[in-house]
Structure formats: structure tokens, C-alpha cells
Amino acid sequence: MGLLDRITFQKQTAEPPESIDVQPDHAIRIVWPGGRETTITSWALRDFCPCASCVEEGTGKKLLDSSTIPADIHPLEINPVGAYAIQIQWSDGHNTGLYAWPTLRQACGLS
């Protein structure tokens, strides 16, 4: 039996956003299915990065020191990852976080 035989994959439950736009002030505006809109600052979304260098994988403990995020942080690129996430190239050089739809919803204060 291989490793993948022992892993249970959870079904993706969150629907993808209808649109994601960077605003002139660098905030990120997201329109969700059904027309609900949320806006999150670039700083807050960068601070929410779920990657292994920002969050300890085993415990979920935050490793990123929020005080190291530049106040003027902004996305240089936002790229889709399959049909389940986006990856952001940040102006501070960070680009390893994958924001799956449930993670993005959580960052925006949605359940």
C-alpha cells in the first residue's frame, strides 16, 4: 500500500470567486457566487499566507512575523492554480502561498 492509498482527500466545497480585482489602493476586491463582494487589504491577505514558510505544517502555528510585512505590500501578479486556488506574487518577493477558495473565504471573514 502506497502513501496515497492512506490519504483521505476532502472534496472541495467552496465555489470559486466570480472575479478578483486589485483596487487602486492595492486592496483586493473579490466577488463571490451570488454577487457577495468582499474587500481585503493586501497587507491582511499577505499576513494570512498559508504556505509552509508562513505557517508550521504540523501544528498550524503562525511562523510569519507580521511586523516584517511592508506597509505598502501589494500583489504584482495573481495567477490561478487549477480550479481551486490562486497564487500571488507579492511585492516583497514572497510567492509560495496557495490561497485555496476556502482559505480565501476565511481570510475575507466568510465561513
Q: What is the pLDDT of residues 18-57, one digit of tens each?
A: 999 999 999 999 999 999 999 999 999 999 999 999 999 9
- The answer to whether residue 93 sits within a structural domain is yes
Helix (H, G, I), strand (E, B) or coil at 3: helix
Residue 1 placed within a domain: no
Please tell me the distance from the alpha carbon of residue 63 to that of residue 86, in angstroms, as a whole number. Answer: 21
Average pLDDT score over residue span 79-101: 97
Number of independent structural domains in the chain: 1
DSSP label at residue 94:
-
Is the Cα torsion angle 44, 46, 50, 55 positive or negative in sign?
Answer: negative
| Distances from the Cα of 40 to the Cα of 12, 23, 24, 26, 73, angstroms | 23, 10, 13, 9, 13
Q: Which among 67, 86, 95 is positioned nearest to 28, based on CA atoms?
A: 86
Structural domain of 85: 19-108
Q: What CATH number does the domain containing 60 carry?
A: 3.30.2020.30
Strands (E), 1-93: 19-22, 28-31, 37-40, 75-81, 85-90
- How would residue 14 be classed by pLDDT, with cut points 50, 70 and 90? confident
Please state the pTM of the whole predicted model.
0.87
Instruction: Answer yes or no: is 7 within a domain.
Output: no
